[in-house]
Amino acid sequence: MKVTEPLASPWKARLSLGFSFSDGRTILSERDHDGPLVVQKPLYPEGAEICHAIVVHPPGGIAGGDELTLKVSAEKNGSVLLTTPGAAKWYRSAGPWARQNVAFNVNGMLEWLPQETIVFDGALVQTEYEVNLGADAGLIGWDIVCLGRSGSGEQFTRGTFCTSTQIRREGKLLWLERGRIDGGSRLLESPAGLAGKPIFGSLFACALNLNQALLNETRKTKPEEGYGAVTLLPGILLARYLGDSSEAARHYFIALWRILRPALSGREASEPRIWRT
């Protein structure tokens, strides 16, 4: 009789972080986690006022049935930069969906700058971002998605990638976006969709001092390859990337971040050291 190997149990992981500001220093004052989602010790490469932290998912990939939840709060006057040590990988699923929920409650300044997300052919992915901003809070964040392992020639022929983003300030909706991309669908090749490009990304910046001059400055920056565009809406600046290179997408967003960060927080951009390892 043939013995069937049991399926691996899915991971349920949760991480909650709270940052506060006291005596001129932003500190990681609350940390609670369950399962394989953790944060490395706080770093201060720019001085005490801004805290850098690296969110780590030790398994390295997200499989069907896995559920990840990240909740972050930043108190008034606190400044936080969050990033990840490497690309997030969403593996092919035999049926169960993999899910990720990210929730930010910001009353200070938060920068969410993860490395790219790679969606394997056959993956079933649902991601949700929910951001609540205080009256004068600031936010810069981005998301870069690679459909298929394009470096090895893999295309996204099966599976589904779903995403949802909500950004509010004092309860008022600034931005709501929902998307669904099915592997092998016409949307992948359509000029009204991804136009045959496997990599796309969004950058968003929220602050009270966004203006036309800042928009004009960001529009001077162009991607090394692929397409980029920037739009200013009430209370939020949005940038898009579409192309064949995750590296070009990341370089484009970093260039925009170098323009936006001084305007929003009064600080020059200082890249996290983990990006150079």
Share of the chain above pLDDT 90, in %: 88
- Taking the complete model, does pTM exceed 0.85, yes or no? yes
The answer to whether the CB of 67 falls within 8 A of the CB of 125 is no
DSSP letter (8 states) at residue 158: S
Spatial distance between the Cα atoms of 133 and 111, rounded to a whole number of angstroms: 13
Spatial distance between the Cα atoms of 215 and 237, rounded to a whole number of angstroms: 8
Spatial distance between the Cα atoms of 81 and 269, rounded to a whole number of angstroms: 11
The answer to whether the CB of 127 falls within 8 A of the CB of 162 is yes
Buried b (16+ CB within 10 A) or exposed e, 209-236: ebeeebeeebeebebeebebebebeebb
pLDDT digits (tens, 9 = 90+) for 207-235: 999 999 999 999 999 999 999 999 999 99
pLDDT digits (tens, 9 = 90+) for 236-272: 999 999 999 999 999 999 999 999 999 999 999 999 9
